[in-house]
Amino acid sequence: MQVLFKGSFMAGMGSYFLDIDLVTVMIGYLLVHSGRPGACVYAFFLGMLVDLFAAGVPGLFTLLYMLVFLTIESGSRFFDLQTIKGPMILVFVGAFIRQLCLVGLLDIFAYQVHFSSSLFLGCAVSAAVTGLIAPFVFALFDWIKTAWLGQERESA
Amino acid sequence: MLNLRRIKTYWIYIAFLFIAFALISANVGKRRTWGPAEQLIVEGTAPLQNFVSKTINAVEGIWLKYFALINVREENKALKKEIDLLRMQSARYREMAAASKRLQDFPRFKETIPWPVMEAQVIGRDPSGWFESVIIDKGKSSGLKMNMPVVDARGVVGRLVSMSSNYSKVLLIIDQNSAVDCLVQRSREKGIVKGLSAGLCKLDYVVRAGDVTMGDMVVTSGMDRVFPKGLPVGEVVEVQDMPWEFFRNVKVKPMVDFSKLEDVLVIMKEDPLFDRTEEKE
């Protein structure tokens, strides 16, 4: 869902500076609740979906989201994803690494990327905001899941 | 029999990473359209995108109309459309006048663009945040073909780069992958307009002695066989000369406001140089 309407939403807001990446947040959430295979498959196929609708090199976002998954999965050994601090830090690191790798790969593929402090700042701020909203998104999905399961049990 | 549980999880990660690298290396530097599987996915997901886009537009419309601005808003919209059409006509008349001046020795010339146009709506945008493309709600079933030019009332928008039965991807002129053969309307200096950022393009390969100044209109030259000649592309907003460079550094502000792109026109003009074997693959 986020992939499909993110572009329209950002254009409507008139903001291309802030890139809040809910896919990274979802990868973190699925890592906790569906385990590594679920999160890995989600990262892979969402990356392919972004590649389909984007105008860049096919496979680019697939690779980036796989890197995000590996970053969060490796980091989950040091930070607990079921606390508040854990998702914030891991999602921030994952999103930041995604931005840096994207910029680096675009430069390798001969896109004109103007390296500057504002670019670095933009990537950091976007990653920070993504990390900050991660615990809220986790809580929201937990609440939805609990409400849904509660309804199913009642109907059963 | 293969026991999947015995396969270490990290081999699956490596397999996915390998597939991603293979996709990248297979497609770098190549012009690629949607394959059959991708077209199927687009056909399945684009209606949802269309629904969300329409919902956002409907909510926006209700919000604006709440302040009893119905008539004012509609009138404003109609007047803006009329101005855009008049601007386009004016640009074309300026081009015709310039052509007439050059063709004084010829007794007659006729207006070109004998191709029909098809209206389409933008239903989605590039989700990456780095590239510039949109999805429109017309595809092969409407008779569209690869590389057909896309315009709106103000000027050139882009060209079709990927298609399925009912949807197409348009590469905008502000994308770095885009290149449009253009010329400066006043001085006829040639150049290539390439995308630079969300609201800016650059006119490349204008020689140091080239006559380009701020305020000059840039139009399509027709030389790339994709865009018809004389379509407005943008206005020159900056001209810089670097002593170590062969070409002038010219920035062009596109005529089209890409942040507000909703309705576009596809000019049903086939690209004679487009390799049909690519489409079949």
- For A77-129, how does the pLDDT look when each residue is reduced to its tens digit (9 = 90+)? 888 888 888 889 999 999 999 988 988 888 887 666 666 677 788 888 888 99
- pLDDT per residue as tens digits for the range B47-82: 888 887 788 777 777 776 665 566 777 788 888 888
Architecture of domain A2-155: Orthogonal Bundle (1.10)
With a cut of 50, say whether residue B109 has pLDDT above it.
no
- pLDDT per residue as tens digits for the range B180-211: 999 999 999 999 999 987 788 999 999 888 89
Q: How much is the average pLDDT of A5-32?
A: 72
**How far apart, in Å, are the Cα atoms of B240 and each of A134, B109, B172, B186, B262?**
45, 37, 25, 18, 34
Interface test with A, best of B8, B41, B128, B167 (most A CBs within 10 A): B128
Confidence of residue B270 (pLDDT cuts 50, 70, 90): confident
| Residues within 8 A of A (CB atoms), B 101-160 only | 124-135
Contact list, B22 vs chain A (CB under 8 Å): 59
Contact list, A109 vs chain B (CB under 8 Å): 28
Interface test with B, best of A1, A2, A3, A4 (most B CBs within 10 A): A4
What's at A90, amino acid-wise?
A: L
Confidence of residue B172 (pLDDT cuts 50, 70, 90): very high
**How far apart, in Å, are the Cα atoms of B29 and each of A108, A110, B32, B95, B132?**
12, 10, 9, 35, 17
Contact list, B26 vs chain A (CB under 8 Å): 58-59
Q: What is the model's pLDDT at position B93?
A: 79
With a cut of 60, say whether residue B103 has pLDDT above it.
no
The three-point CA angle B91-B94-B100 to 5° equals: 140
Assess B16–A contact: CB distance below 8 Å, yes or no: yes
Question: In DSSP terms, which residues pair with B168 in a beta bridge?
Answer: B136, B163
Task: Enter the pTM of the model.
Answer: 0.73
The three-point CA angle B37-B41-B47 to 5° equals: 150
Assess B202–A contact: CB distance below 8 Å, yes or no: no
Q: What does pLDDT average to over chain B? A: 81
The three-point CA angle A108-A121-B175 to 5° equals: 45
| Residue ranges of domains in chain A | 2-155
Q: How much is the average pLDDT of B79-87?
A: 82
Whole-angstrom distance, CA of residue B219 vs CA of residue B215 = 13
Confidence of residue B100 (pLDDT cuts 50, 70, 90): low
Which residue reads 């399945």 in tokens?
A: B44
Label residues B35-68 b or e (16+ Cβ within 10 Å = b): eeebbebbeebbeebbebbeeeeeeeeeeeeeee
Confidence of residue B36 (pLDDT cuts 50, 70, 90): confident
What's at B28, amino acid-wise?
A: V
Q: Helices (H) and strands (E) in chain A — how many of each?
A: 6, 0
| Residue ranges of domains in chain B | 34-281
